């Protein structure tokens, strides 16, 4: 089964989770098992870290809804920024441990929590935060998918039925593009035979159909379809008139 964009983002979050868990395993302390970092300090650092991660996710979702940048580029940018936040988190832990080691004599009373207690708390906080972000991303992805169900195109029923029968595909949604007096219907469809998604440009006036299949993800099909809108300004210059899309 092909991966969806949610699967890719989920994989990034899972990797982030695993990397954080590896960092937590390396938490150091005194020979008698006391952690250099207290549970309160760890909770505070993780809260700051996941606030930054959530901000990155909010930015990602906002940009996905605007649909001005390739989803692949957005996912790549998100991965890079997640990696940067991880590096910052590692630096913070290392700096805090070094700070306490340097002032060990003066801060013996500060070192009160066991290494195992700090690790257990950190692991729990990471899992809770990753699950919260995962649920939010799943809801967002469902919202994007639901947009495909909206029948924005005014494609006549007989043409719609004829298309679906000819291509053995179900039209999920679409929009109309008007070039002067002509209307081309841009639709996103699911190919029932190949279990993949396609974009079709249907021109009833000329009885023609341009069919582009092979999209594993409906959002990729939607992004491809929206290129018709993105070229509107260029088309207007060519035909010398304002177009209604």
**208-215 and 169-179 strand pairing:** unpaired
| In the chain, ranges of CATH 3.10.450 domains | 157-239
**pTM of the shown model:** 0.56
The contacts of residue 47 (CB under 8 Å, 6+ apart) are 125
CATH, range 157-239: 3.10.450
Q: What are phi and psi of 37, to 5 degrees?
A: -110, 130
Q: Which residue has the higher pLDDT, 144 or 139?
A: 139
pLDDT at position 51 is 93
Confidence tier at 238 by pLDDT (50, 70, 90): very low
pLDDT at position 241 is 41
> Tens of pLDDT along 198-221?
888 888 777 777 777 777 777 677
CB 147 within 8 A of CB 174: no
Q: Any idea which residue has 């929590």 for tokens?
A: 113
Q: Provide mean pLDDT across the span 117-136.
A: 91
Confidence check: pLDDT of 4 > 80: no
> Tens of pLDDT along 160-177?
888 888 889 888 877 777
Q: Provide mean pLDDT across the span 54-67.
A: 84
Confidence check: pLDDT of 243 > 80: no
> Mean pLDDT of all residues in the chain?
77
């Amino acid at each position: 089964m092909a991966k969806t964009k949610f699967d890719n983002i989920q994989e990034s979050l899972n990797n982030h989770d695993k990397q954080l868990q590896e960092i937590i395993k390396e938490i150091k302390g005194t020979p008698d098992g006391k952690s250099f970092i207290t549970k309160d300090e760890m909770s505070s650092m993780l809260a700051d870290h996941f606030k930054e991660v959530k901000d990155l996710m909010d930015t990602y979702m906002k940009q996905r809804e605007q649909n001005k940048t390739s989803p692949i580029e957005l996912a790549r940018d998100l991965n890079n920024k997640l990696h940067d936040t991880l590096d910052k988190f590692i630096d913070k832990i290392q700096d805090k441990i070094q700070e306490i080691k340097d002032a060990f004599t003066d801060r013996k009373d500060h070192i009160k929590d066991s290494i195992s207690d700090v690790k257990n708390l950190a692991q729990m906080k990471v899992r809770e935060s990753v699950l919260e972000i995962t649920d939010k991303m799943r809801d967002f992805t469902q919202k994007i998918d639901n947009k495909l169900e909206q029948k924005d195109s005014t494609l006549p029923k007989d043409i719609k039925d004829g298309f679906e029968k000819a291509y053995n595909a179900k039209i999920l949604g679409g929009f109309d593009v008007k070039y002067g007096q002509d209307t081309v219907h841009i639709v996103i469809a699911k190919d029932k035979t190949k279990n993949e998604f396609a974009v079709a440009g249907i021109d009833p006036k000329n009885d023609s159909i341009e069919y582009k299949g092979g999209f594993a993800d409906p959002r990729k099909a939607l992004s491809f379809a929206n290129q018709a809108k993105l070229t509107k300004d260029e088309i207007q210059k060519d035909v010398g008139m304002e177009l209604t899309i």
